[in-house]
Copies of this chain bind each other. A is one copy, B any other.
Amino acid sequence: MDETLSLVLFSGTDDKLHAAGTLAAGACAMGQRVNVLLQYWALDAFRTATINADHGLAFDSIRPGTRQPPAGSAAIPWLETFRMAKELGDVTITACSGSLEVLGIAAGEMDPIVDGAGGIASFLLAAEGGQIVFI
C-alpha cells in the first residue's frame, strides 16, 4: 500500500491525541506515508510548554456511568505513539499557519517533533488520491 494518510488533527485531549497517534502508527506500519496538520487545540497541545501536560479527556467522558481509564488521562501514551510512528515510517507533522495566527502562537513555540509550519493548500496537494481523516 503506498497511499498517503492525511490527518487533520484539531483536538487536544489525551484520548483523541491517542486515537490519532494510533492511526498514524498503524498506517506507518502498513507502509503508508502520513501527513499530520495540527490545528487549534492539537496545535496548542504540541507546544513545548504544554506537550507533557495532562490534557484531559473529551467531553464524552463526563457522562455519568462511563468507564474511566484506571490509570488516568495523563498515563495515555499518545506522544510516545507519535514518536514511535516517526521512527517506524514517513510521518510529517506540520503546524497549520492559519491556526498559529488565530491562536497567536509563534512557530518557534512548537515542540521539536513538529517538522514545520504550512498551509492547507500544500496539505491537500499531498493528500491527493489518498484518505483524509479529521480528528
Residues of A at under 8 Å CB distance from B?
1, 3, 5, 8, 10-13, 15-16, 18-19, 22-23, 25-27, 29-30, 39-41, 44, 47, 49-50, 53, 55-56, 58-61, 63, 65-71, 76, 98, 102-105, 119-121, 123-125, 127-129, 131-135
Contact = CB atoms under 8 A, between A and B. Distances in A.
B19 A8 contact: yes
A104 B40 contact: no
Copy number in the complex reads 3
Nearest to A50: B65
Contacts of A47: 67
Nearest to A20: B134
A104 B132 CA distance: 30
Contacts of A1: 128
